[in-house]
Amino acid sequence: MVKPEEKQFLNLPFTGICTFGKYPVCDDLDKLDADVAVIGVPNDMGTQWRSGARMGPRAVREGSTLYSFGLNGAYDIENDIMYLGPKWKVVDCGDVDIVHGDLMQSHDNTEAAIRKIVDKGAMPVIIGGDHSITAPVGKGLEKLGPFHVIQIDAHLDWADHRSGMRYGHGNCIRRLSELEHVQEIFQFGIRGISSSIKEDVDAARDYGATILSPKQMREKGVEGILDLIPKGEKYYITIDIDGLDPSITPGTGTPSPGGLLYDEVNALLKGIANHGEVIGFDCVEVAPQYDPTQMTGQTAARVMLDLLSYVTKKREEKENK
């Protein structure tokens, strides 16, 4: 029998409060003191088809408990590296306040929260919500600009408006392109006959956006893709979970066959993190009710934790030089 003084506090995935990665809570942004601030934006009022991404933050947090690392960090058996050790203070800031039926007020609340996180010196990590949330997030990142936007997505999201609606989930990248502090835009994983109309594709190309389908990405490989992205500069990464193939992430509002696989996304994110400075990122469009296996939320959590691991490890290496 184990003696009382030898027992450990296990904090297993199914126990305790379900925060992102089981990291501590900061419920007052005015008191934020952290390296990384995770915040949910449970807003899916910009959705054009199947709603449900408002439940995304909860599903991703639930999935993340499997990968909760505690204070000692995470050991990567494939690379023999420890990630996210005690040096890094990561907190879960809960969710942006969403006003039901008022998309624009909810976007205003999102922008204000991101501005506050940036002012406090923490890196914002956002859990959506549908992709419309990326537009106010981009506005809130103004102080960190100029930066490039790297999008992983099945859809271009470059529509100017839908019958006057300019801030839905199909407009978000177009809205980012209109911000003075956004530079080049890279759109990876774009595919399918429902991705966008030709006029929107033409507008994106006229802007200078780099657009690659999964097939084109595989032809180039990670190094070929990185050659397209200015090295040593600032990046904001927005990950729509439907950029991955619906065979592994079916819980999303607009699934599209022919997507990227987990290992492909993982390798690309690791390459980007080592290519320049990631100032923040979001993961959106997880709609858990369409996935009875719960793997979509878990995969989204893993992708987010992978990227956070790579970004913080790069910062460690830079500080140790």
Give the annotated binding-site residues for Mn(2+): 131, 153, 155, 157, 240, 242
Dist. CA 293–CA 73, nearest whole Å: 27
Q: Which parts are annotated binding residues?
A: 131, 153, 155, 157, 240, 242
* Cβ density class 43-52: b for 16+ within 10 Å, e for less: bbbbbeeeeb
Sheet containing 90-95, strands listed edge to edge, beginning at the edge strand earlier in sequence: 90-95, 36-41, 123-128, 277-284, 234-240, 147-152, 182-188, 210-212
Spatial neighbors of 262 by CB under 8 A, at least 6 apart, are: 244, 248, 299, 302, 303
- Of the candidates 213, 196, 134, 133, the one whose C-alpha atom is nearest the C-alpha of residue 159 is 196
- Residue 2 class from Cβ within 10 Å (0-12 exposed, 13-18 middle, 19+ buried)? exposed
What stretch of H or E contains 99?
none
Distances (CA, A) of 317 to 35, 233, 242, 304: 16, 17, 32, 20
Dist. CA 197–CA 68, nearest whole Å: 41
The answer to whether residues 130 and 285 touch, using CB atoms and an 8 Å cutoff, is yes
β-bridge mates for residue 259, sequence order:
none
β-bridge mates for residue 247, sequence order:
none
